[in-house]
Amino acid sequence: MSGEFSVSVGLDRQAFMARVRAALGRPDSPPAAVSPPDIDESVARLAGPRDDLVALFCQRAQAAGMVVHATTSATLRVDLAAALEALAPRAACVSVAEGSLRETVLEGLRRIGCGAIDWRAKGGLEAHYDADLGVTDVWAAVAESGSLVLASDAVHSRGTFLVPPVHLALVPAGAIAADLLDLLAFPEGRTPAELPAAVVLVTGPSKTADIEGILITGVHGPREVHVLVIRDAV
Amino acid sequence: MTEHPLHPRLPFDMKPRAALAAEDALLQQFIFTATHEKDRGRVRVCQRAFGERYDALRGLAGAIKQHTLDHLDSYLERFIDRAEAAGARVHFAADAEQANAIGARIAEAHGCRLCVKSKSMVTEETGLVPVLERLGVEVVETDLGEFIIQLDHDAPSHIVTPMIHKDRRSVARAFVRELGAEYTEDPERLTRIAREHMRTKYRRADLGISGANFLVAETGSIVLCTNEGNADFSVSGPPVHVVFAGIEKVVPALRHLAVFLKLLARSATAQEQTVYTTIITGPRRPADHDGPGEVHVVLVDNGRTEILRAPTRELLRCIRCGACLNACPVYRKVGGGHAYGAVYSGPIGAVITPLFKGIENYPDLPRASSLCGACFEACPVKIDLPRQLVWLRRESVEQKVTRWRERLMYRLWAATLERPWAFGLARFLQRWLLRWRARSRDSGSQGQRESPLDPRWMTALPGPGRGWTECRDLLAPPSGTFRKWWRSRGRGAESKGGGP
């Protein structure tokens, strides 16, 4: 799937851009180097580093319809076991980076007799359709809006937080950004290819109000999102 | 064959559709409830989040978008460079036909059979779906509302909540007829049916199509906002993802995106954020397990460069939140989007549709507004819609789109106001005619008023006055005039202070 065919329809780039420049009233001049406007943070910022980010995140995530529990590294094992027991999954997909957190999750699943599906065994999102729980860590989180931020890479599938009917996310306090302005700061000198191909902000369970404005969760994605915040983890 | 709601024969006459909708009590109630609650919700959540900064934030968002449009050449070039650097392919469509041809060419090249598509106003505008279907590609709309509309061979009537004009019974009937489902009117169960049906499609689809809420010049990213998660399914499973995006969707950098994300969901549906905000930067990375191997971005002009010419440029700031539709008393009264006879409805549609399709083809739309300004107040990027509507009205006079009778009337009116004697004569004639009419047999005496007939009231006027008296009476002028009364008070009366 290299896609090296040429699409011979449509305009070429020069002709297309010439139309844009003509409309701007400068048909011949090459585009100038412009610097984008500054953002007045006194207007746009809704949360700052001085806020209690864990408390704010928990409150906003709850308001967005997620079920939020807080724990610490010391009590994580117990609280995770309790959460998993309550959810009682039969088969789970796990997208958690290698390390102790991943081991804790796998051990918790083993203890309740829940199989962890190896989603790499099948192509695309396919393996996730067999799971009734998706467990993930997060790329980041946002206190302002209570959002989980998930990103795709070798050990994080785009399906884990999307396809199973229930999503459980583990959020270390250190991952919580105060404001969207803090999350969406792209460092100078980085190239687009260094960004993950997909970064997804999840703010609540999948929902719709298309039929007579009645709110229903779980239309395509999960109907329940559970969040475990680890207060002392970075 | 009935006429297509959004692609009618031109020139389009709004009045028959509006009149039908005005008599449909159920539709009126639906649309009123849906839009009124969203409008109040928008004000509530924006006040709660921003307080007194709400207006300044709208100003900031508007200024960012205006700056981007003023330098659209630079930002588009940057977007193209960065998107290609991330591995995406960028295509250029001057019009709808080219956009569809590019989409068709990509589908053909990959031998695609089943396409899952998330909501996109641009593809609605270009009419992409029938083009793909003619190639033998099955196209499934994955947004629940759009899916139901597709099953019912209907058309969206609101840019954010497309099936605002339909009730649960029509959904139930469509599911029984088209999916062989059991009849149920329970929205919860109807949604489950759609969920299971859609999953069989997602798993087999070989092409994903989406629009874009934003394009980010700094990183070459495209941004998708949904509540259902359907866009994520559509662009994560299939091996090929094709994005259709208008050129006005660019924002300079990710940090500017943050400003728009703060406003979009609050303005659209009174939510803090949409449930899924997805930032796609190129195809899947070599190490990734899933995601499309190819991402194509089709940049669509289709009339936008015409609007980009000042003085209409500010219209391209629009982020398609639908807040102006929800706030608009006319949109509510004409029964939602179908009365506008085009893809974009409400106040924003009333301005951009004539610009896209020609004022002569949509002569009613610039006047489908009371200029009350509610749309301007609701707009998160401060587009001065009333000013644009007035500008468009002037254009339609200059292009002689208005009827000759109207033009003649305004000529006479202007000539009369320029000459005191003509003004006096016109006043005399008007008073005399109205008083004569009020006294005459076929007006006051035949009225349906319950109280003793009052000859000062006119209940039926002929000709152009009929519209007025159809729903209310008109008071005839009194015998004396204000000017006469003023003169009779004498010069000395002024210094005495008090009024009459």
Each residue's pLDDT tens digit, B193-244:
999 999 999 999 999 999 999 999 999 999 999 999 999 999 999 999 999 9
Q: What is the mean pLDDT of residues B441-453?
A: 46
Residues of B in contact with A20 (CB under 8 A): 72-73, 76, 247, 301, 305, 308
Is residue B391 domain-shared with residue B439, that is, in the same domain? Answer: no
Q: Are B101 and A10 within 8 A, CB to CB? A: yes
Cα B113 to Cα A8, A173, B429, distances in angstroms? 21, 45, 73
Residues of A in contact with B198 (CB under 8 A): 220
| H or E segment to which residue A168 belongs | strand A166-172
Are B208 and B240 contacting, i.e. CB atoms less than 8 angstroms apart? yes
Is residue B59 domain-shared with residue B75, that is, in the same domain? Answer: no
Q: Is residue B177 part of a domain?
A: no
- Return the DSSP state at A202: E
Of B86, B195, B308, the CB nearest to A23: B308
Full domain range(s) for residue B465 = 420-496
Looking at residue B455, its pLDDT comes to 64
Count CB-CB contacts under 10 A for residue A232. Answer: 13
**Looking at the complex, does the CB of residue B103 fall below 8 Å from at least one CB of chain A?**
no
**Looking at the complex, does the CB of residue B248 fall below 8 Å from at least one CB of chain A?**
no
Looking at residue B489, its pLDDT comes to 85
Query: Last residue of a domain, which of B348, B372, B402?
Result: B402
Of A63, A193, A207, the CB nearest to B87: A193
A42-68 pLDDT per residue, tens? 999 999 989 999 999 999 999 999 999
Distance from the B279 Cα atom to the nearest Cα atom in chain A, whole angstroms: 5
Looking at residue B484, its pLDDT comes to 83
Query: Last residue of a domain, which of B302, B330, B346?
Result: B302
Q: Is residue B411 part of a domain?
A: no
Instruction: Please report, for the domain that includes residue B163, its CATH number.
Output: 3.40.50.10420
| Torsion angles phi and psi, residue A111, rounded to 5 | -65, -30
Q: Is residue B24 part of a domain?
A: yes
The burial of B11, by beta-carbon neighbours within 10 Å (0-12 exposed, 13-18 middle, 19 or more buried), is given as middle
**Looking at the complex, does the CB of residue B44 fall below 8 Å from at least one CB of chain A?**
no
Q: Which fold has domain A44-230?
A: Rossmann fold (3.40.50)
Looking at residue B73, its pLDDT comes to 96
Distance from the A74 Cα atom to the nearest Cα atom in chain B, whole angstroms: 32
Is residue B242 domain-shared with residue B140, that is, in the same domain? Answer: yes
Of B219, B253, B290, the CB nearest to A195: B219
**Looking at the complex, does the CB of residue B41 fall below 8 Å from at least one CB of chain A?**
no
Total structural domains in chain B?
3
Side-chain-facing half-sphere of B129: CA atoms under 13 Å = 21
Looking at residue B493, its pLDDT comes to 53
Q: What is the mean pLDDT of residues A25-49?
A: 90
Q: What three-state secondary structure class fits A169?
A: strand
Q: Mean pLDDT, chain B, as a whole number?
A: 91
Q: Give yes or no for residue B52 having a pLDDT over 80.
A: yes
Residues of B in contact with A191 (CB under 8 A): 85-86
Alpha-carbon distance of A222 to B143, in angstroms, equals 15
Q: How confident is the model at residue B462 (pLDDT cuts 50, 70, 90)?
A: confident
Place of tokens 């305004």: B410
What ipTM score was computed for the predicted complex, to two decimals? 0.96
Looking at residue B447, its pLDDT comes to 46
Number of A to B CB contacts under 8 A, please give it: 306
Place of tokens 């609007």: B307
Q: Is residue B182 part of a domain?
A: no
Alpha-carbon distance of B456 to B436, in angstroms, equals 10
Q: What is the mean pLDDT of residues B326-331?
A: 96
| H or E segment to which residue A217 belongs | strand A216-217
Distance from the A234 Cα atom to the nearest Cα atom in chain B, whole angstroms: 24
Q: Mean pLDDT, chain A, as a whole number?
A: 94
Residues of B in contact with A216 (CB under 8 A): 187-188, 191
Q: Are A153 and B285 within 8 A, CB to CB? A: yes
Q: Are B148 and A212 within 8 A, CB to CB? A: no
What chain A residue is nearest to B272 in terms of C-alpha separation?
A145
The percentage of residues in chain B with a pLDDT greater than 90, rounded to a whole number, is 77
Q: What is the mean pLDDT of residues B120-135?
A: 96
Q: Are A153 and B85 within 8 A, CB to CB? A: no
Is residue B237 domain-shared with residue B297, that is, in the same domain? Answer: yes
Q: What is the mean pLDDT of residues A84-101?
A: 97
Q: Are A36 and B256 within 8 A, CB to CB? A: yes
Residues of B in contact with A119 (CB under 8 A): 289
Q: Give yes or no for residue B481 having a pLDDT over 90.
A: no
**Looking at the complex, does the CB of residue B471 fall below 8 Å from at least one CB of chain A?**
no
Q: How confident is the model at residue A111 (pLDDT cuts 50, 70, 90)?
A: very high
Is residue B255 domain-shared with residue B136, that is, in the same domain? Answer: yes
B270-303 pLDDT per residue, tens? 999 999 999 999 999 999 999 999 999 999 999 9
Q: Are B72 and A24 within 8 A, CB to CB? A: yes
Is residue B468 domain-shared with residue B332, that is, in the same domain? Answer: no
Looking at residue B450, its pLDDT comes to 43
| Torsion angles phi and psi, residue A4, rounded to 5 | -90, 40
Is residue B332 domain-shared with residue B208, that is, in the same domain? Answer: no
Is residue B131 domain-shared with residue B232, that is, in the same domain? Answer: yes
Q: Give yes or no for residue B437 having a pLDDT over 90.
A: no
More confident residue, A94 or B460: A94
Alpha-carbon distance of B209 to B228, in angstroms, equals 16
Domain boundaries, chain A: 44-230
